[in-house]
Amino acid sequence: MESNYVLKLWKKLKHKPFGGKLMAMAISRTAPYFKTVSSTMIEIVPNRVQLVLKKKRKVENHIGTMHVISICNGLELAMGTMAEASIPKHLRWIPKGMNLDYTAKAGSDIRCVAEVAAEDWKPGDLFVKVTAFDNNDVVVVEGTIKLWVSEKPQK
């Protein structure tokens, strides 16, 4: 696959000190809502992205675990980054829905993963598998984010 702007920026930043944090900050400049969680990118490759959300007081719920909506935010960030790093140039995408199960308490930092098969990039509904793991690799949230993929208009 030909490299795009996300993959080019990741290639520049990933080996630098705080490169994963800088990458997350760069993405948050485009989509400011993602600043609400402290994220660090750890892997960006076509069709797969991993990031870590830091468990901080500002994202905890009343029982001291990470609030599930913060985790959903991290999963959406992983999915969006993966989509931008992966989608063929003639296509575009927009999120259409989420279907998630909360499977365990999130009492630590959380690793969010978004992945899809390369051959699934075609017009229509695309279901991106998303999973959130705690520090012990226990799945705390899992499900899909549905994208609508369509052809870009002719210029």
Q: What share of the chain is helix, strand, coil (3-state, %, to 5)?
A: 35, 35, 30
Global confidence as pTM: 0.93
Q: Could you give the CA distance from residue 18 to residue 93 in angstroms, rounded to a whole number?
A: 29
121 pLDDT higher than 60:
yes
Mean pLDDT value of segment 124-128: 98
Task: Collect all residues with Cβ–Cβ distance below 8 Å to 106 and sequence separation of at least 6.
Answer: 55, 65, 66, 68, 71, 132, 134, 140, 141
Query: Which pLDDT tens digit goes with each residue over 137-146?
Result: 999 999 999 9
Q: What is the pLDDT of residue 136?
A: 97
Q: What is the pLDDT of residue 111?
A: 98
127 pLDDT higher than 70:
yes
Residues 5-151: name the CATH superfamily. Answer: Hotdog Thioesterase (3.10.129.10)
Q: What is the pLDDT of residue 2?
A: 53
Query: Which of 127, 120, 124 shows the shortest CA–CA distance to 142?
Result: 127
Q: What is the pLDDT of residue 36?
A: 83
pLDDT band at 76 (very low <50, low <70, confident <90, very high): very high
Query: Which pLDDT tens digit goes with each residue over 31-66?
Result: 888 888 889 999 999 999 999 999 999 888 899 999
Query: Which pLDDT tens digit goes with each residue over 1-15?
Result: 456 999 999 999 999
Q: What is the pLDDT of residue 1?
A: 46
